[in-house]
Amino acid sequence: MNLDDAKIPGLRADLERTVRDALAEDIGSGDITAQLIPADRSASARVITREDCTICGTEWVNEVFRQLDPALQVNWMVADGDRAAADSVLFTLHGNARSILTGERTALNFLQTLSGTATAASALAEEVRGGQIRVLDTRKTIPGLRTAQKYAVLCGGCHNHRIGLYDAFLIKENHIAAAGGIDAAVEQARQLAPQAPVEVEVENLDELRQALDAGADIIMLDEFNERDTLEALQLAKGTAKIEISGSVDAARLRQLSGLAVDYISSGALTKHLKAVDLSLRLQM
């Protein structure tokens, strides 16, 4: 996986901005501890993972050291989307010792966070491998890292829901109430942006029927029980795509894998991630 393959709007610009902001946040007026090291001292370093993981964030690491010191050499043993075993070397560095140590934490922060997202996505993708269900992320991302985490989800083998509020309609309970009902909300959406997909979240079978009658493209079933889910799938068959949301974990995915569900969305992919444990080891 690479940045261009992801086709996420603004991804590369966001990468450069978030790296710049992260370095400014960490370095401030200068890395006073790095000044203990002679300015011309060279060093090498290797970064290892202490646990099995799916890799994401190589370009963020590259950008950290590019912005700090373009003369640093970064050599990767893995690529985004690769599985890495515990204790394996992910990349090596060679160049100015001060630059390596100044950029270490910022680089590893990006790599551990995005690899954590990719690893979580990989676990869920494995549960539906070979079937028709596509596991989607949500907008429940770390502020400032929206496109980065969306990219990490792709590296883990899952898929992106809408990127933001601008590229698709997702009509929820409060929108329905404020717009005057499901039919009115869908009709206004078609007039406002005819090219944009229209999805409606429903909480019961009556709302499902209203969404179908209104011509929604996708219908999200929020916290439906098993019986109502089966009925909803029959009602929507051939008319609208069905997305399951709410309390979706690996066990639930296995239950749904044999049903005619199109999408399963999980906020846990990006908000419940566990950062991967990484370590940088300097060699003088």
222 carries an active-site annotation = yes
Catalytic residue (choose from 12, 66, 139, 140)? 140
Catalytic residue (choose from 16, 52, 222, 277)? 222
Distance CA 225, CA 280 (A): 47
Catalytic residue (choose from 139, 172, 241, 252)? 172
Distance CA 161, CA 196 (A): 13
Name the residue among 147, 149, 148, 153 with its Cα closest to residue 167: 147
Distance CA 78, CA 206 (A): 50
Beta-carbon contacts of residue 149 (< 8 Å; ≥ 6 apart):
114, 117, 137, 141, 142, 270
CA 106 remoteness from chain centre: 19
Catalytic residue (choose from 59, 63, 137, 201)? 201
The CA-to-CA distance between both ends of the chain, in Å, stands at 33
Q: Where are any strands of DSSP class E within the chain?
A: 42-49, 53-54, 73-76, 83-84, 89-96, 134-136, 169-171, 198-202, 218-222, 241-245, 263-265, 278-283
Tokens of 96: 């100015």
Q: Using an 8 Å Cβ cutoff, are 217 and 162 in contact? A: no
172 carries an active-site annotation = yes
241 carries an active-site annotation = no
CA angle centred on 94, ends 90 and 100, rounded to 5°: 85
Catalytic residue (choose from 7, 105, 274, 281)? 105
Catalytic residues: 105, 140, 172, 201, 222
